[in-house]
Chain A
Amino acid sequence: MNYGRELLKGNTDSLLLSMISRQPTYGYQIVKELGKRSNGYFQFKEGTLYPALHRLERENLIIGKWQILPNGQQRRYYYITEKGQQVLVRRLATWQDFSAAVKAVLQAETTT
Chain B
Amino acid sequence: MASSISHYLNRFKACLKIDQTIKDDVVQELHTHLEDKIQELEESGLSKEEASKIAVQSVGSPELIAQQIYETHAQGSWKEALFSALPHFLVALLFTSYYWQNVVYLSIILALIVGIAIYGWHRGKPIWLFPWLGYYLMPVVVAGILLLSLPQGWGWIAALMYIPLALFVFIHIMRQTARRDWLYASLMLAPVLVTLTWFSSLGTGNELLANDWIARLQTNALWIVISFIALAGATIAFIRVRPRRYKIISLLIPPLVILFSVATASRGNIAPWGWLILLFSLFAFATPVWLQARAYQ
Please report A residues at the B interface, Cβ cutoff 8 Å: 26-28, 45-48, 50-51, 54-55, 58, 64, 66, 73-76
Contacts and interface: CB of A to CB of B under 8 A. Distances in A.
Contact of A51 (B59, B61, B72): B72
A48 B12 CA distance: 13
Nearest to B70: A51
Which of A27, A47, A51 has the most chain B CB atoms closer than 10 A to its own CB? A47
Contact of B60 (A46, A54, A76): A46
Contacts of B176: none
B28 A51 contact: no
Contacts of B60: 45-48
Contact of A46 (B26, B33, B35, B68): B33
Contacts of B37: 28, 46
* A-B complex: 8 closest residue pairs judged by Cβ atoms: A45-B60, A51-B68, A47-B59, A47-B65, A47-B60, A28-B36, A55-B72, A54-B72
Interface in B37-73: 37, 58-62, 64-65, 68-69, 71-73
Interface residues on B, range: 20 to 34
Given A28-B36, A28-B37, A74-B32, A48 B58 contact: no
B73 A46 contact: no
A84 B112 CA distance: 39
Nearest to B65: A47
Which of B62, B72, B73 has the most chain A CB atoms closer than 10 A to its own CB? B72
- What's the dominant secondary structure at chain A's contact region? helix
22 contacts: A27-B32, A28-B37, A45-B58, A45-B64, A46-B33, A46-B37, A46-B58, A46-B60, A47-B60, A47-B64, A47-B65, A48-B65, A48-B68, A50-B30, A50-B69, A51-B71, A64-B25, A66-B25, A75-B32, A76-B25, A76-B29, A76-B32
A50 B28 CA distance: 12
B13 to A, nearest CB: 14
Nearest to B29: A76
Contacts of A45: 58-61, 64-65
Interface of B: 25-26, 28-30, 32-33, 35-37, 58-62, 64-65, 68-69, 71-73
Contacts of A54: 26, 69, 72-73
B30 A47 contact: yes
B73 A58 contact: yes
A26 B30 CA distance: 11
A27 B29 contact: yes
A66 B26 CA distance: 11
Contacts of B33: 27-28, 46-47, 50
A46 B62 CA distance: 11
Nearest to B25: A76
Given A28-B37, A45-B60, A58-B73, A50 B32 contact: no
A48 B59 CA distance: 8
B72 A28 contact: no
A75 B37 CA distance: 14
B12 to A, nearest CB: 9
B288 to A, nearest CB: 25
Contacts of B64: 45, 47-48
Nearest to A28: B36
A50 B35 CA distance: 16
A62 to B, nearest CB: 13
Contacts of A76: 25, 28-29, 32
A50 B29 contact: yes
B139 to A, nearest CB: 36
